[in-house]
Amino acid sequence: MGAESNTPSITSEKYKVDQSIISNYAEDDNNSVTNEFGHGEGSFLTGYFSVTCVVAGTGTLGLPHAFAIGGWLGILIMILSYLMAVYSGIVLIRCLYYKPGVRLHDFKAIGIAAFGWPGYVIATFLHWLNLFGCPALYLTLASSNLNYLLRYTSGALNPVTWTCIIGVILLIPSLIAKTLKEITALAAVGALCTMIAVFIVLIQSPMYHNAHPEIPVQTDSVIWTGFPSALATIAFSYGGNNTYPHVEHAMKKPHQWKYAIAGGLTTCTGLYFITAIPGYWSFGRDTQSPIYNSLPEGAGKMIAMIVMTIHVILAIPIYTTSFSLEFERYANFTDARLGRFWAWVARAVIRTCTMAILVILAIFIPYFHDFMSLIGALSNCGLVFLLPILCYLKLTGVRNKPWYELLFCAFTVFMGIIGCVFGTIDAIKALIHDFESE
């Protein structure tokens, strides 16, 4: 029996106009093992490693600089962001099941169920901004690293040329892979690369600081003017909410999700602390982003740059394929409708255009830290701190929550607004300054 016959209407009378759209995202729990978005055979470890691989990435390398612009207050901001990210990830999945017997599909479905068309538009904008902004940022970092690593060799090309070359190379797996199943293993390699870079920073930063006591290092307890930018950078490091519905649906026992998200984000936070604290203690206000730019020349710095370049290059197809799949689903470019060959042609056109847009973005916004702050403030603050909480309260009610949970929700929304508004303003000002300084 389908969802329409055994469940109540997904929307209230107020949002009846949106019911047909939501029904496209809803799924019947009784058939969830057999339909496209039903629960898979994954265990707790599937969810744990997926969260860890998605969240732990280049944001790690920007955290010491977040401390440099916010001071040691960054420790408190990171702890609060960790708690808020765990809570946000848990209530986001609860929103999928807010109607008995029905599971919504993704972030956009939650947005439209909670706030109608405005919610759908906002959720889609933030979601697509993240899917475009992160890989464009990765292209920027990869091209810059390759330009630096090969500067004294025959491969010494400028960052713009490297950006185009990487874009063309990465287009190949995007054209070959039909879905994410063929390329998600790349995330595990990326997480391993991140861990290698983290331990290099952990070891080499204090060694350099102790070996050069003559170099003054100035640290601050609190830099209030840098608070929004620090929060935006840290928010970028906890981005991943728009992938959580897909991770949770792959788990055989969805009730284990809360343990998977808590364990995964705890691991990521541990990696963040052993990068941010030694990095800021060693270099203080002069800490750069990414942190390995502050390391002395040598094998450690080179290895860190190489593994992070591998990580970002392997991560880009995951983002581009995710966006392409959503666009193809929206446009109904399926084998059944177009035939296998023409469906592949349609996918090829979409994915080629997607990669071209990313290359253009990376070429014209070649400033890693300020670009990361903008994405963190505008996209991740909304996806992590704002939208999940507001949708959860709207869908499940306010009066049935204890006062301390409501207080925590209010504080999370407040932090999200501060990071989103003022962090975006600071990031735009910094990017303007970058371009004017050229």
Tokens 């364990």 belong to which residue? 263
**C-alpha dihedral, 261 to 263 to 267 to 270, nearest 10°:** 100
* pTM of the model as a whole: 0.78
What are the E-state strand segments in 222-309? Answer: none
Return the minimum-mean-pLDDT range out of 16-30, 96-110, 317-331: 16-30
Q: What would the two tokens of residue 92 be? A: 């986001």
Q: Does residue 93 contact residue 248 with C-beta atoms inside 8 Å? A: yes
What the block records as the tokens of 272 is 């963040």
User: What tens digit of pLDDT does each residue of 286-320 get?
Assistant: 888 788 888 888 888 899 888 888 887 877 777 77
Residues in the chain: 438
- Residue 242 neighbours by CB distance under 10 Å: 24
How confident is the model at residue 1, as a pLDDT?
Answer: 41
In angstroms, rounded to a whole number, what is the distance separating the alpha carbons of residues 60 and 55?
9
Q: Taking a C-beta distance cutoff of 8 angstroms, is the pair 2, 28 a contact? A: yes
**Rounded to an integer, what distance in angstroms lies between the CA atom of residue 325 and that of residue 331?**
10
Mean of pLDDT values over 23-40: 44
Q: Which domains does the chain have, with CATH numbers?
A: 25-436 (1.20.1740.10)
Q: Residue 36 above 50 pLDDT? A: no
Output the CA–CA distances (angstroms, integers) from residue 324 to 54, 80, 241, 333, in the order listed.
Answer: 18, 34, 18, 11
Query: pLDDT-based confidence at 362, cuts 50/70/90?
Result: confident
What pLDDT is recorded for position 10?
39
Task: Please identify which residue in the block is written with the tokens 């940022």.
Answer: 137
Confidence class of residue 39 from pLDDT cuts 50, 70 and 90? low
- Section 347-356 average pLDDT: 84
Q: Which two tokens stand for residue 307?
A: 């593994």
For the stretch 62-102, pLDDT in tens is 888 889 988 999 999 999 999 999 999 999 999 988 888 78
Confidence of residue 179 (pLDDT cuts 50, 70, 90): low
pLDDT at 5 over 50: no
Residue 438: is its pLDDT beyond 70?
Answer: no
pLDDT tens digits for 377-431?
Answer: 788 888 888 999 999 999 998 988 999 999 999 999 998 898 888 888 888 888 7
User: Alpha-carbon distance 108 to 104, whole Å?
Assistant: 9
So what's the pLDDT on residue 14? 41
Integer-rounded Cα Rg, in Å, for the chain is 22
Q: In whole angstroms, what is the distance from residue 200 CA to residue 279 CA?
A: 11
The strand pair at 102-103 and 27-28 is best described as antiparallel
CA angle, 115 as apex, 110 and 117 as ends, to 5°?
90
271: Cβ–Cβ under 8 A, 6 or more apart, which residues? 56, 60, 194, 195, 198
| Proportion of the chain above pLDDT 90, given as a percent | 16
Is residue 227 helix, strand or coil?
A: helix
DSSP letters, 310-370, are HHHHHHHHHHHHHHHHHHHHHHT--HHHH-HHHHHHHHHHHHHHHHHHHHHHHHH---HHH
Q: What's the rounded Cα separation, in Å, for the pair 366 and 382?
A: 24
